């Protein structure tokens, strides 16, 4: 038709769909991730998946997650791994020896003998456990407050007491007439171990936790201990089978494993670099600061402090400072003599107007009387002040003003340097301060401080 028009209705070709790619990553920490797959899409119907890791790698990672904290190694302190290695080795040797000592104990009770009675064996076992329970309560009563401040030492002592307990079990068959007494001594030793080991483990778990993951670390510690227990029990049963009836072989095996156990424990506690200030670490750091103006790091101090019990420190000197032994924290004020009280009252109105502690020195010993309202930071300050006074060797009281001058000029700088070096300065780890005091300074204008 004449009026018709030819229209070109050709539409433009659709635009090509962009290619999409999604990566799959696996891991418990943003800094410790592994790419497991790459998914690529070029169209709605074209999708390709390229896997970057095999099933064995994935399974091994899942197994590893049952034994190490989430986010390892960034979620824990650097001393976590070496400590756990030595701790696992000492635990392994403990479980191997436990099979030998348990075998000897059961033999002494009468297991396998026709003449043994069930009621007799039950009573002996009950008496053994009762002694251990009472010992644990008494140990907590007298030493519970010291476990935080001396965690490394008590961790070592706990395992030494465990060695003594197993030794008593092994010795018990040799002395039938004193059997009950010997096994009770062994149970008492192990009760100390249970309290000290559990308490110090809690303190160390808090130290290792960098991301408020103490519960996760404790759970993974349980997995590690379970694995060490299973391996140790298997090796222990094999060793007990091989040495049965051979007393000499049993003793050689037990003593050899005990020596390795003690060595592994010593190496484990030496690996620890605790960043909390107890009396000895505070003394070491302050002495170095007074000499050089610099603050040692927790790792440097860890190689200088004592880890063996105080009774062994006479031959365990490694360059540590002993100033803290001249300081008595939390002294009962009524225990001082009249001359000391007069000197104390005078110093309260002159040197310690604004402080929540008093210092009194006599015979080379500095006594700290803490205020009833003193907090953790005040106790730390009082202890540092006492250490400065001890360093100045103020035996006649003439250097009180000099030590106070040092505190006024350098204390804040010292605390800031401690914090920048990684130390925690909120409190001093020490025995509980149970004796405190309150004092009022009366001035002529009627004001009280």
Asked if residue 284 lies in contact with residue 296, where contact means CB atoms within 8 angstroms, the answer is yes
CA distance 381 to 390: 14
Preceding amide of 73 cis, omega within 30: yes
Least confident of 51-60, 64-73, 426-435: 51-60
Mean pLDDT, to the nearest integer, of 339-361? 75
Mean pLDDT, to the nearest integer, of 420-447? 79
CA distance 258 to 264: 10
Higher pLDDT, 157 or 119: 157
Q: Looking at residue 125, what is its pLDDT?
A: 67
pTM for this entry: 0.77
Residue 446: pLDDT over 70: no
CA distance 181 to 37: 65
**pLDDT tens, 71-96?**
888 889 999 999 999 999 998 998 88
**pLDDT tens, 360-411?**
887 788 899 998 888 999 999 999 999 998 888 644 545 677 888 899 899 9
Q: Looking at residue 262, what is its pLDDT?
A: 92
What are the CA-CA distances from residue 23 to residues 33, 37, 38, 153 (Å)?
Answer: 12, 6, 5, 50
Q: Looking at residue 194, what is its pLDDT?
A: 83
Q: Looking at residue 394, what is its pLDDT?
A: 45
**pLDDT tens, 425-435?**
999 988 888 88
């Amino acid at each position: 038709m004449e009026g018709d028009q030819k229209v070109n209705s050709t539409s433009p070709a659709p635009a090509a769909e962009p290619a999409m790619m999604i990566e799959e990553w696996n891991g418990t920490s943003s800094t410790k991730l592994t790419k497991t797959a790459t998914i690529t899409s070029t169209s709605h119907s074209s999708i390709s998946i390229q896997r970057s890791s095999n099933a064995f790698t994935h399974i091994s990672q899942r197994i590893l997650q049952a034994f190490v904290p989430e986010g390892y190694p960034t979620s824990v302190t650097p001393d976590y791994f070496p400590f756990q290695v030595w701790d696992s080795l000492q635990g392994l040797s403990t479980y191997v020896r436990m099979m030998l000592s348990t075998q000897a104990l059961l033999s002494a009770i009468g297991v396998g003998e026709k003449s043994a009675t069930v009621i007799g064996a039950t009573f002996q076992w009950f008496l053994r456990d009762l002694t251990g329970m009472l010992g644990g309560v008494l140990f907590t009563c007298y030493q519970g407050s010291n476990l935080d401040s001396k965690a490394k030492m008590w961790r070592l002592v706990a395992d030494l007491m465990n060695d003594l307990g197993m030794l008593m079990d092994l010795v018990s068959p040799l002395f039938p007439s004193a059997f009950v007494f010997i096994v009770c001594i062994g149970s008492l030793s192990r009760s100390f171990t249970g309290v000290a080991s559990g308490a110090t483990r809690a303190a160390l778990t808090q130290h290792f936790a960098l991301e408020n993951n103490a519960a996760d670390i404790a759970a993974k510690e349980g997995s590690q201990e379970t694995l060490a227990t299973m391996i140790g029990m298997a090796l222990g049963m094999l060793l007990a089978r091989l040495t049965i009836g051979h007393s000499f072989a049993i003793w050689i095996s037990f003593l050899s494993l005990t020596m390795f156990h003690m060595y592994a424990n010593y190496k484990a506690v030496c690996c620890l670099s605790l960043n909390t200030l107890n009396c000895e670490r505070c003394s070491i750091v302050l002495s170095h600061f007074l000499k050089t103006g610099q603050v040692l790091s927790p790792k440097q101090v860890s190689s200088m402090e004592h880890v063996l019990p105080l009774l062994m420190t006479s031959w365990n000197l490694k360059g540590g400072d002993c100033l803290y032994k001249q300081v008595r924290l939390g002294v009962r004020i009524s225990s001082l003599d009249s001359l000391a009280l007069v000197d104390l009252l005078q110093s309260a109105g002159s040197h310690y107007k604004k402080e929540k502690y008093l210092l009194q020195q006599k015979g080379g010993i500095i006594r700290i009387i803490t205020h009833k309202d003193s907090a953790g930071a005040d106790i730390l300050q009082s202890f540092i002040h006492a250490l400065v006074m001890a360093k100045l060797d103020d035996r006649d009281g003439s250097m009180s003003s000099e030590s106070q001058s040092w505190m006024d000029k350098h204390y804040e700088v010292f605390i800031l340097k401690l914090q920048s070096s990684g130390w925690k300065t909120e409190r001093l780890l020490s025995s509980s301060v149970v004796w405190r005091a309150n004092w009022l300074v009366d001035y002529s204008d009627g004001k009280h401080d």
